[in-house]
Structure 1
């Protein structure tokens, strides 16, 4: 299971707690929102690696980029 899916499952669990425990409803909804935000971050994150094809022994550079609300598309 990927990180986004795991976060969505956690958010759903807290939503169910909110329904089952009206006395602490707001607390559980706040937790669900945090997990939904984490799921959004996980779906927006792209790890891009570049492989060196020049035959050198130098490690391939790798970097991480955040692209809020859009996807990064990389051609190989």
Structure 2
């Protein structure tokens, strides 16, 4: 299980605790939100590597051209 999925499972567990324990509902929801934030952070971290030789192969963006029709 990846980190994002594990964090989502934790968030869901705390959400269920909030439903089951109305007396401490706000505390459990706050904890669920923290786990959702961790899941979002885990989902945003992607590793991209670029070799220096590949940088030369990257062409600049094409400029907009008007057609003469």
* More helix by percentage: 2
Greater Rg over alpha carbons, structure: 2
Q: When the two structures are superposed, what TM-score results if normalisation uses the length of structure 2?
A: 0.69
- The gaps in structure 1 that reach 5 residues or longer are 54-76
TM-score (norm. length: structure 1): 0.63
Aligned residues: 53
Tell me the equivalent position of 1:6.
6
Off by >3 Å, runs of 4+ in structure 1: 49-53
Separation in 2 of the partners of 1:9 and 1:51? 37
Higher RCO (CA-CA < 8 Å; seq separation 6+):
2
Instruction: Identify the residue that residue 24 of structure 1 maps to in structure 2.
Output: 24
Give unmatched runs, 5+ long, in structure 2. Answer: 54-69
The Cα offsets for residues 32-57 of structure 1, whole Å up to 9 and x where unpaired, read as 0000000000111112234688xxxx
More strand by share: 1
Q: RMSD over aligned Cα, in angstroms?
A: 1.5
